[in-house]
Structure 1
Amino acid sequence: MTVLAIDVGGSGSRVAVRADDGPRHELAGERVSVGADGASVPALVEALLTAAAARWPREVAAVRGVGVGATGLGSLVADPAALARTVADRTGAPAAVAIDAVTAHLGALDGAGGAVVVLGTGAIAVGCADPDAGTPWRRVDGWGHLLGDRASGARIGTDGLRAALLAHDGVDPSGAGLLAAARERFGDPATWPRQLYPRPDRAGVLASFAVDVLGAAAAGDPVAARIAADAGTDAAHSVVAALPPDAPAQVCLAGGVARAGGALTAAFGTAVAALRPDVVVRPAAGDPLDGALALAVRAADGRATTQEGFLWT
């Protein structure tokens, strides 16, 4: 059976096709932007479907199920169910669309129950006792970089820039290393507000500096290390809160930011152990695109169940 999957995030997007249990073939696309009309998810999904049909016409014609995971789908897209219908109409196959944390969960825990916190441009934690049984999904955070997204790339980048500006203003010189890194990436601090505030993809731009912050943490910068450790602790609080009481006592730290390891990962493990000593921290079995492929299989088999705020068919 051939399935098609799409993963839309704040730092980029991808589309993949896979026949049976063979390797996935994928293409990259643009990152999501946010404007007055909400997130650009529907337009990105349409563009990725067009690109997939052009690159793999025979495979796309044979698709039997489609899975889409997208950031902002539950809060910044007016009608996710309409998007599911559009995808089904475009491909001629059953489609399921979900918030990106659901597909990250399916990929990271390989369809098993538990909770996953996803740290990318944004941050969100979701838990489910048994995804295959249709038990309810539970969400923590995912409120966007202005209201939440604790431990996200955007938050880490913002915290790094704040520390840099404290050094620039002479308030706290300990952020001098981050100021140097921020100057290299963004130029003169006087230009930062106009570089950031008007941007529809502001969260992604802020998250780009998380790479520098986490790199500085790994190199021993104490301010960057504190920011990274605080992010790990915040992520632990989110994932433990998302774990349903009847779910397997296992959690996973997933997403591009999580791959940095170091102080962030260490603080995450320490905080989970302190909050819930019975919980096991698992390594991610797969990524969100793997989860979107798993969702596509569920859509093809009729096992994808709508749950408002999380998944639509």
Structure 2
Amino acid sequence: MKSVASGGWESGESDAARWVLGIDVGGTGSRAALEPFSPALAAAGDERRVLEGGRVGVASAGSSVIDVVVALITEVRADWPDAAIAGVGVGATGLASLVGSPDEAAARLAHAAGAPVALAIDAVTAHLGALAGRGGAVVAVGTGAIAIGTDLHDRWKRVGGWGHLFDDRGSGAWIGIEALKAAIRTHDGATTNAAALLDAAVARFGAAPSWPGQLLTRPDRAGLLAGFAADVAGLAASGDVVASDIMRRAGAEVAATLAAALDPDVPPLAAGTGGVFGAGGAFAEAFATEFGRLAPSASLVAAEGPPLDGAVRLARLVGAGEAPAVHPPFVWRG
């Protein structure tokens, strides 16, 4: 057995004494899960310990995502000081484009955890959770939307995930933006069909003239926009025509993103994961229909687990010395 400096598990410790830490960081929040290293021990009882963390902010200096992860690691170590952590797996939004040096970030996290770390973009841990380590394509749709087609070894293909300003098609933030666009048109008298969306937006954000000041100045605006997606989904479920159209378009956009991530050298297996899939209804129907049209030879399967499960799986691979090799801009090691 290996030993890890600065607080990791020591040679001679049994699997029962070792733990793995998975961390999932998205635009609306973050979570950490501490589990026994042994999958059998983890499955034998209610052993998972979960902590909720902060929301990521994006400003001129970049993303606060690494600070959010460090805070979670620090809290885990303070709450469970006797847990010997064998490996840490982190899936986080914005790593490839909004963090100056992911290599340095991974080293910082390893120092904070006192254990080896695999730091990955959120699509990688979403993939590990949804397909449980099998090759294929997965689209993760929460605040943002990103897909990855990979065999977790040699083939890596990313589609989307470039931020709510001009991408994240079909995501929670995208839905929120489309709904606010429809609402403001009705507010201005250019249309009359989005009264329900306007009422919902006013209930959530206040009077329409206050929206620019509330949203454009906030570093966490993507998360705020994504929060409004729940209201849009609710209106769609009740039959509102404009909200239903937005959710249908979102589902079709997500299907196109997933289909584009399929790689001929990766198994034709695909899945969707993330909070927006919980909307069901018009979103889910449009997603399944459009994906079947775009990728008729691929198998669309239900996700086996959420991204947090994927982060725990990555942590377990780290602890076993079997994690994917360093492969920027997807995976870094610390």
Alignment of 1:114-133 (within 5 A): 114-128=136-150, 130-131=151-152
User: Is 1:106 matched up with 2:123?
Assistant: no
Residue of structure 2 equivalent to 1:150: 169
SS of the aligned residue for 2:98 comes to coil
> Which residues of structure 1 form unaligned runs of 5+?
none
**C-alpha distance in 2 between matches for 1:114 and 1:293:** 19
Letter in 1 for 2:296: P
User: Is 1:82 matched up with 2:104?
Assistant: yes
**C-alpha distance in 2 between matches for 1:279 and 1:18:** 34
Residue of structure 1 equivalent to 2:31: 14
User: Is 1:57 matched up with 2:74?
Assistant: no
C-alpha deviation, 1:82, in angstroms: 1.2
- The answer as to whether partners of 1:156 and 1:213 remain within 8 angstroms in 2 is yes
C-alpha deviation, 1:135, in angstroms: 2.1
C-alpha deviation, 1:299, in angstroms: 1.4
User: Is 1:29 matched up with 2:53?
Assistant: yes
SS of the aligned residue for 1:75 comes to helix
Residue of structure 1 equivalent to 2:239: 220
TM-score with structure 1 setting the length: 0.96
> Which residues of structure 2 form unaligned runs of 5+?
1-17
Letter in 2 for 1:115: A
C-alpha deviation, 1:223, in angstroms: 0.5
Residue of structure 2 equivalent to 1:197: 216
**C-alpha distance in 2 between matches for 1:26 and 1:269:** 32
Overall identity of the aligned pairs, in %? 52
User: Is 1:4 matched up with 2:28?
Assistant: no
Letter in 2 for 1:27: L
From 249, 260, 270, the equivalent of 1:230 is 249
- The answer as to whether partners of 2:74 and 2:113 remain within 8 angstroms in 1 is no
**C-alpha distance in 2 between matches for 1:288 and 1:312:** 18
**C-alpha distance in 1 between matches for 2:29 and 2:157:** 25
Letter in 2 for 1:111: G
- The answer as to whether partners of 1:136 and 1:307 remain within 8 angstroms in 2 is no
Residue of structure 1 equivalent to 2:9: none
Residue of structure 2 equivalent to 1:93: 115
**C-alpha distance in 2 between matches for 1:301 and 1:86:** 21
SS of the aligned residue for 1:82 comes to helix
User: Is 1:140 matched up with 2:159?
Assistant: yes
**C-alpha distance in 2 between matches for 1:6 and 1:155:** 25
C-alpha deviation, 1:8, in angstroms: 0.9
Letter in 1 for 2:269: Q
**C-alpha distance in 2 between matches for 1:241 and 1:24:** 35
C-alpha deviation, 1:85, in angstroms: 1.1
C-alpha deviation, 1:306, in angstroms: 0.8
- The answer as to whether partners of 2:259 and 2:291 remain within 8 angstroms in 1 is yes
SS of the aligned residue for 1:115 comes to strand
Larger Rg: 2
C-alpha deviation, 1:290, in angstroms: 0.6
- The answer as to whether partners of 1:117 and 1:254 remain within 8 angstroms in 2 is yes
Residue of structure 2 equivalent to 1:264: 283
TM-score with structure 2 setting the length: 0.90
Write the deviation string for residues 19-38 of structure 1: whole angstroms up to 9, x where unpaired.
Answer: 02213211001110001110
SS of the aligned residue for 2:204 comes to helix
User: Is 1:311 matched up with 2:331?
Assistant: yes
Alignment of 1:236-275 (within 5 A): 236-275=255-294
